[in-house]
Amino acid sequence: MSQGSLRIGIVGAGQVTRTRHIPGFQAIPGVELVAVCNSRRETTVRVAREFGIPKPYGNWEELVHDPEIDAVVIGAWPYLHCPLTLAALDAGKHVLTQARMAMNAREAQRMLDRSREAAGQVAMIVPSPYGLTGESFVRSLIADGYLGTLREMHVDSLNGDLADPDTPMSWRQKTRFSGFNMLTVGIVYETVLRWIAPASRVLAYASKAIGERFDPVSGKTTRVGTPDSVQVLTTQQDGSQGVYRFSGVLWHERSMSVAMYGADGTLIYDLLRDEIRGARRGEALHRLPIPDELRGGWNVEADFVASIRGERPVTHTDFETGVHYMQFTEAVARSSRHQTPVTLPLQEFSNPSL
């Protein structure tokens, strides 16, 4: 870094990057956004002009190898996360990549292994935004014994975003861009890992209620690549049991919650409203206000810069956690495909095409 400044290049300036990351970085003293590369030249130039970014690049390889760039922010789709991360780390850059971490567990492990070899370089994934507000509060309640021994957890992520057959296909439903990622499986599991032990066994069923959609890119009706309904049964490392329900095809339904049922109490976190309810044995469920001193929030850009400057380590989200949720996502895909339980952690990595 020259004279204490941090110079950042951006690959993939989609909606999240434009609305969150770019304003977030531009608000931090000593941080400069110096380069951008989007999928198309015209959008690259448009973003550069809109945000005053001096270098619009025609391809990401040139941006990654620019010696005047200290860190690379990857906002591209998952199919580019692994090659971009490896190239950036090899070029000596710090890396912040958008979630979903990678296409599959094999890629995620490669990214983790390479980050461990890159001493002094920060490798971070944009975290799940769900539950950040009440994360510390829930953790403190669990640590104080509010739940007791965990018996079960029930996790829902339900909506009607894909309920209409006329809704065009997005990149998220194309396996060549998204890999094993489906619906909100990875992002919700990442959220759950903040409070619950990792899964050791997965049994899943995934289906496509709507098997074909219009693809605006090709201009044709095409087979959908990823499921729009997923159910998962899990056993956690602590012996507790879990039930996950994911769906994008439910009319009149929008919910995302984590319910934890212990021997001594219950905690239910409504992730969309950031409302927490709980009860000890013998009590009725009631709202538990999040104390101001434990209230969290979105600090992604500041956390990335602080980690680079050596002020604090990466917590939200490190590559180890990313590997956990990518292995879970792949286990769900494997179990659904073969209709058999899958043990975690994975002992070998499958062919990405499975």
Counting residues of the chain whose pLDDT is more than 70, the rounded percentage is 97
Which CATH code is given to the segment(s) 2-129+299-316?
Answer: 3.40.50.720
pLDDT digit string (tens) for 38-84? 988 999 999 999 999 999 999 999 999 999 999 999 999 999 999 99
What was the pLDDT predicted at 305?
97
**pLDDT mean over 28-33:** 97
The whole-angstrom separation of Cα 195 and Cα 130 is 13
Task: Kindly tell me if the per-residue pLDDT of 318 is higher than 80.
Answer: yes
pLDDT band at 349 (very low <50, low <70, confident <90, very high): confident
Phi, psi of 276 (to 5 degrees): -120, 130
Please check the confidence at residue 266 and state whether its pLDDT lies above 70. Answer: yes
List the one residue out of 200, 221, 190 whose CA is nearest residue 322: 190
pLDDT cut 90: percent of the chain above it: 95
Residue with tokens 């495909």: 337
Whether the per-residue pLDDT at 162 is higher than 60: the answer is: yes
Crossing angle of the two packed helices 319-338 and 185-192, in degrees rounded to 10: 130
> What is the pLDDT at residue 2?
42
Q: Which CATH superfamily is domain 135-295+327-343 in?
A: Dihydrodipicolinate Reductase; domain 2 (3.30.360.10)
User: For residue 344, what are the CA distances in angstroms to 5, 72, 111, 182?
Assistant: 42, 32, 19, 19
Q: Residue 350: pLDDT above 70?
A: no
Q: What is the pLDDT of residue 159?
A: 98
pTM: predicted TM-score of the whole model, two decimal places: 0.94
Q: Is the pLDDT of residue 324 over 70?
A: yes
- Can you tell me the distance from the alpha carbon of 78 to that of 102, in angstroms, rounded to the nearest whole number? 5
pLDDT band for position 17 (50/70/90)? very high
What's the rounded mean pLDDT across residues 223-246? 98
Interval 268-289: pLDDT, tens? 999 999 999 999 999 999 999 9
Residues 182-204 pLDDT 10s:
999 999 999 999 999 999 999 99
pLDDT at 246 over 90: yes
Tokens of 160: 């009607």
The model's pLDDT over 73-91, given as tens digits with 9 standing for 90+, comes to: 999 999 999 999 999 999 9
Where exactly does CATH 3.30.360.10 map onto the chain?
135-295+327-343
> From CA 33, how far away is CA 188, in angstroms rounded?
30
233, 203 Cβ separation under 8 angstroms: yes
Every domain range in the chain assigned CATH 3.40.50.720: 2-129+299-316
Residue 338 has, within 13 A of its CA and on its CB side, a CA count of: 11
